[in-house]
């Protein structure tokens, strides 16, 4: 299925105590290029994420952002600083004895003293984090690809319509061309006859030269090749692979044949058709710049 290079996808889930958000967006680009924004503490997932995206995206400039928020304090471990607690208890009881003050030390009072608790970040299970991010990224990718395919279907309908328009013009050229060649041959022969009628010139040579020159303005070969290119174009549009660059090449070939028809044409109607065909080809070229 034909895909646009423009797309957007988003997914968010809470997995293993982490709120994970993945957003993917892309615009036109000749090749695959991926820029990522990942929290610094999770840099180890960056290259894996890019590689995962590349499996489903052939072309386009892709921006992916990942946001990870730990919830419920599950990323921290609380530890008691036993040494500090013992120091406080010993010092307070010593003061109590020295100053003969009643010892009313309790645990609730002790834990209010500085440095009793050590708060440490729990080490990440890197494999678990990556699996969770990959799961969310896959959901965002599904949304992203669906949007690309929907846009691609619109592009497909548009370029095929323009290809059909060109094909209709080719048919008109083929209808006009034989008569144009015949008329040109007759005019050329008549003109040569008028110029040379009083001279001893081989009439058969005149006919031969007129025929040779008239043949040079025939466009039969060009229209046949142009029809073939349009047929290839239609087949490629329905291909399941990445086709943007191939379509661009075929459009160049189509344009070359149209230019040749224009250079050989000796008829105003064909010239007008050539101008119209080139206009349609330019529209197709602009559209396929956005095809993956």
Q: What is the 3-state secondary structure (H, E, C) of 87-126?
A: HHHHHHHHHHHHCCCCCCCCHHHHCCCCCCEEEEECCCCH
The 10s digit of each residue's pLDDT in 235-258 is 998 887 778 889 999 999 999 999
3-state secondary structure of 39: coil
**Percent of the chain at pLDDT exceeding 90:** 51
In a domain, 108, yes or no: yes
243 & 263 share domain: yes
Position 199 pLDDT exceeds 70: no
> Residue 140 corresponds to which tokens in the numbers above?
């965002």
Domain-located, residue 30:
yes
d(CA 67, CA 88): 42
CA proximity to 268, closest of 172, 192, 202: 172
Specify whether 29 is located in the same domain as 88. Answer: no
Take residue 56 and report the two structure tokens written for it. Answer: 């489903």
* Token representation of residue 116: 């009793």
> Could you tell me if 30 and 140 lie in one domain?
yes
- Count the domains in the chain: 3
66/89 same-domain check: no
Residues 201, 263 within the same domain:
yes
Q: Is residue 2 part of a domain?
A: no
pLDDT band at 65 (very low <50, low <70, confident <90, very high): very high
Residues 52 and 157 in one domain: no
Q: Would you say 93 and 103 are in contact if contact means Cβ atoms under 8 Å apart?
A: yes
| 89 vs 123 pLDDT, higher one | 89
- Element containing residue 13 per DSSP (H, E): strand 7-15
Q: How far is residue 20's CA from residue 53's CA, in Å, rounded to a whole number?
A: 17
Cα separation, 154 vs 5, in Å, equals: 13
Backbone angles phi, psi at 261, to 5 degrees: -60, -40
The mean pLDDT value for 178-200 works out to 66
Residue 1 inside a domain? The answer is: no
137 CB neighbour count, 10 Å cutoff = 25
On whether both 216 and 108 belong to a single domain, the answer is no
Residue 127 exposure: Cα atoms within 13 Å on the Cβ side: 0
Statement to judge: residues 178 and 84 lie in one domain: no
Inside any domain, residue 270:
yes
Q: Is residue 191 part of a domain?
A: yes
* 217 and 170 belong to one structural domain: yes
CA dist 224 and 219 (Å) reads 9
Average pLDDT over residues 187-216: 63
**Final residue before a domain boundary, out of 110, 144, 178:** 144
How many CA atoms does the CB half-sphere of 204 hold within 13 Å?
0
| β-pair partners for 136 | none
Same domain, 254 and 241: yes
Confidence of residue 274 (pLDDT cuts 50, 70, 90): very high
Q: Answer yes or no: is 268 within a domain.
A: yes
Residues 235, 253: Cα–Cα separation, whole Å? 16
| Residue 52 shares a structural domain with residue 23 | yes
Give the domain range for residue 60.
7-73+127-144
- Full-model pTM: 0.67
Residue that finishes a domain, picked among 144, 175, 195: 144
Q: CA 184 to CA 267: how far, in whole Å?
A: 9
Tell whether the model's pLDDT for residue 22 goes beyond 60: yes
More confident position, 192 or 221: 221
* Residue 118 and residue 78 in contact, taking contact as beta carbons nearer than 8 Å: yes
Higher pLDDT, 238 or 211: 238
Give a yes or no: residue 12 inside a domain.
Answer: yes
Mean of pLDDT values over 44-69: 94
Report pLDDT for 273.
95
Residues 138 and 97 occupy one common structural domain: no
Q: What is the CATH number of the domain that holds 22?
A: 3.30.230.40
Number of other residues whose CB lies within 10 A of the CB of residue 107: 8
At 200 the pLDDT is 57
Sole residue written with tokens 């008691």: 80
Quote the pLDDT of residue 256. 95
For the chain, give the mean pLDDT.
86
Q: Band the pLDDT of 43: cuts 50, 70, 90.
A: very high
């Amino acid at each position: 299925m034909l895909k646009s290079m423009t797309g957007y996808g988003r997914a968010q889930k809470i997995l293993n105590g982490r709120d994970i958000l993945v957003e993917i967006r892309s615009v036109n680009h000749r090749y695959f290029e991926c820029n990522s924004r990942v929290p610094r503490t999770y840099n180890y997932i960056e290259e894996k994420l890019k590689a995962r995206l590349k499996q489903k995206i052939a072309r386009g400039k892709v921006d992916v952002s990942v946001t990870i928020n730990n919830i419920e304090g599950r990323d921290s471990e609380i530890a008691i600083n036993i040494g500090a607690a013992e120091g406080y208890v010993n010092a307070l009881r010593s003061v109590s004895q020295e100053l003969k003050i009643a010892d009313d030390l309790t645990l609730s009072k002790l834990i209010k003293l500085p440095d009793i608790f050590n708060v440490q970040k729990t080490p990440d299970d890197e494999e678990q984090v990556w699996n969770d991010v990959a799961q969310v990224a896959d959901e965002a990718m599904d949304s992203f690809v669906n949007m690309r395919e929907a846009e691609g279907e619109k592009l497909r309908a548009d370029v095929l319509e323009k290809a059909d328009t060109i094909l209709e013009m080719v048919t008109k050229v083929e209808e006009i061309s034989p008569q144009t060649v015949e008329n040109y041959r007759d005019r050329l022969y008549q003109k040569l006859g008028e110029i040379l009628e009083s001279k001893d010139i081989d009439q058969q040579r005149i006919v031969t030269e007129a025929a040779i020159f008239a043949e040079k303005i025939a466009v039969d070969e060009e229209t046949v090749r142009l029809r073939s290119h349009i047929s290839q174009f239609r087949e490629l549009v329905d291909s399941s692979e990445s086709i943007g660059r191939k379509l661009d090449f075929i459009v160049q070939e189509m344009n070359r044949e149209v230019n040749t028809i224009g250079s050989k044409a000796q008829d105003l109607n064909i010239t007008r058709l050539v101008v119209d065909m080139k206009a349609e080809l330019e529209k197709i070229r602009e559209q396929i710049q956005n095809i993956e």
